[in-house]
Structure 1
Amino acid sequence: MMNRRIWAATAAAWLALSAGLPMAAMAAEETPDALVKRLSADVLDTIRNDKSYKTGDVARIGTLVDKTVMPHVNFQRMTSAAVGPQWRQATPEQKQRLQAEFKALLIRTYAGALSQVSDQTVVVKPMRAAAGDKDVLVRTEVRGKGDPIQLDYRLEKTADGDWKIYNLNVLGVWLVETYRSQFAQEINARGIDSLIQALATRNKG
């Protein structure tokens, strides 16, 4: 699993998608790199000014994620990509449980990392994309103490015109692909239900 420093940056990245929801109409008109830049600045200020985010309270962070982060994420695409080819064989109930447990895993993993977010700033690099592109890469660096942390976003433009994230790259490691290799081992050995149970057990631990 990724170390705490990397997850601290990832936590900042996820929460960077939360602060701008009251301006959703404006966000829909923004380019993906401008959206990432504005929300990143907003959330870092929020974390600095609200110490309750540093308590590691999974329930509080979970509520924040459900109400604010998830609208900016294509979570079904993330989960299906992490599960891999076996996703197509899963029943609707299994898919629902996989999404719920995968989300809980991510929340639990970076809840503690939030306490490490303090003086970081996010620098968005120039984006290489054509005006009509609907699948783009936004590259950023999280800068603070120590070396800069590479943090890239994969976003897609939905039919409604919104930009949604479906993958993250932290220091050259794509989040979905990292979990795919772990999940594949469990599925190949014991099946989808076993993966669901393993995730549920980890989330309760």
Structure 2
Amino acid sequence: MRSPVLPRLAVALALLLPLPLAAAPAASQQAAAATSPRQVIDTLDQALLDVMKNADSLGFQGRYQKLAPVLDQVFNLPLMARISVGPDWASLKPDQQQKIVDVFRRFSITTYAARFAGYNGEKFESAAATSVTGGDQVVATKLVMANGGAVALNYRLRANGPSWQIIDVYLNGTISQLANYRSDFGATLRSGGGDGLVKMIESKIVELTPKK
């Protein structure tokens, strides 16, 4: 079975990714009521370990199918799409906004399914949640390699009704996923509009999807 290495997983986590913008897919409504921020992260970590351990037997499509309902549950993907676009979001038509939400969701799931494609004794370690401004919570996590190396992560979560969902990921504890996206997406949106942004994200999905 293929073994992920530290740089590969770092890229995966950097690529991955606050008020719902549209109705989330049905699976995202299955989040348990009053789930704590730490439990949300544990749910994600367990799902990632499962697909890593069974990566070859599942294949890309199997990993995608297993991860999709979990990511819908633990991430507020519509909100993350909106924040990734930034202030220009308000200038988009409702149908364009929905297309961006949809393609952003598929991009996020594809990224995880493509990158978490092997296992070599890795494990996740998470700390207790801490409160930050605005009522959000942050859970610090490390993906620890068998050789002792580690990828440090901070997950920022926000209450969404009775549940908590991830709204940003900070690689190495400080690098915001959404800030990276905003820089990338903003330039494309200004030059190509909403349709151009959808095409750009679609191209990223194609690049990540294994060729048969």
State TM-score, norm by structure 2: 0.74
Asked if structure 1 preserves the Cα contact closer than 8 Å seen for 2:122 and 2:143, the reply is yes
1:48 corresponds to 2:50: no
**Inter-partner Cα distance in structure 1 for 2:31 and 2:114:** 28
Contact 1:187 1:194 in 2 (8 A): yes
1:62 paired to 2:67: no
Distance 1:42 1:74 in 2: 17
Identity, in percent, stands at 22
* Equivalent in the alignment of 1:198: 200
Amino acid corresponding to residue 72 of structure 1 in structure 2: V
Relative to structure 1, the CA distance from residue 39 to residue 86 in structure 2 (aligned partners, 3 Å threshold; closer, same or farther) is closer
Q: Is the 8 A contact 1:183 1:195 kept in 2?
A: yes
Asked if structure 2 preserves the Cα contact closer than 8 Å seen for 1:9 and 1:142, the reply is no
Shift of 1:49: 4.8
Separation in 1, partners of 2:112, 2:48: 15
TM-score, length of structure 1 as denominator length? 0.76
State whether residues 77 and 104 of structure 2, in contact with CA within 8 Å, keep that contact through their aligned partners in structure 1: no
Tell me the alpha carbon deviations over residues 62-82 of structure 1, each in whole angstroms, 9 at most, x when there is no partner. Answer: 323333320222111100000
**Residues 163-172 or 101-110, more deviating:** 101-110
Q: Which amino acid aligns with 1:185?
A: A
1:140-195 CA-partner distances (Å, limit 9, x unpaired): 11101352111111111122x11111111112321111111001111222322211
Aligned partners of 2:34 and 2:164 also within 8 Å: no
1:3-152 superposed matches below 5 A: 4-8=8-12, 25=32, 28-37=33-42, 39-41=44-46, 43-45=48-50, 47-49=52-54, 51-53=56-58, 55=59, 57=60, 59-129=61-131, 134-144=135-145, 145-152=147-154
Name the structure 2 match of 1:18. none
Q: Offset at 1:98?
A: 0.6
The match for 1:167 is 168
CA distance in 2, matches of 1:202, 1:39: 23
- Give the alignment partner of residue 189 of structure 1, picking from 185, 191, 200: 191
Q: 1:42 to 1:116 in 2, by over 3 A?
A: closer
Contact 1:136 1:155 in 2 (8 A): yes
Q: Which runs of 5+ in 1 are unaligned?
A: 15-20
- Distance in 2 (CA, whole Å) between partners of 1:46 and 1:113 is 10
Q: Number of aligned residue pairs: give it.
A: 187
Correspondence for 2:160: 158
Distance in 1 of aligned mates of 2:50 and 2:63: 16
- The Cα of 1:46 is off from its aligned counterpart by 5.5
Q: Is the 8 A contact 2:44 2:70 kept in 1?
A: no
Give the unaligned 5+ runs of structure 2.
Answer: 1-6, 18-27, 208-212
Contact 1:94 1:193 in 2 (8 A): yes
Which deviates the most, 95-104 or 178-187?
A: 95-104
